[in-house]
Amino acid sequence: MKRDEVYQALIEILKNSLENPIDFEKVNETTKIYPDLLPNSITMMYVALAIEDRFGISLMDADFSKINTVGDMLNYILERAK
């Protein structure tokens, strides 16, 4: 999978996870996931489950304390999807 494709899919998942839409033009790989994008644990859970379904990977043993930004999440998905 190409990095751009994964990034677009990830942004789509993040868009679906928000109740009120925000300006995703300003979102980039350095944007912090918590609390800038995902305000609570249930939205984090939603995103994790959506990533599992979309990319066919398991995040059950993932250490989410190390995933702070959109870029971290992108790298993590690319690493697991290999």
By CB under 8 A, residue 44 contacts another protein: yes
Give CA–CA dist 57/77, Å, rounded: 8
Taking the complex as a whole, how short is the minimal distance between the CB of residue 27 and another protein, in angstroms? 16
Give CA–CA dist 27/25, Å, rounded: 6
Single residue of 9, 11, 17, 75 touching another protein by CB under 8 A: 17
The answer to whether 46 and 17 have CB atoms below 8 angstroms apart is yes
By CB under 8 A, residue 60 contacts another protein: yes
Q: Give residue 35's Cα distance to chain centre.
A: 13
Q: Which is nearer to another protein, 24 or 64 (CB)?
A: 64
The binding site for another protein (CB under 8 A) comprises 16-19, 41-46, 48-50, 52, 59-60, 64
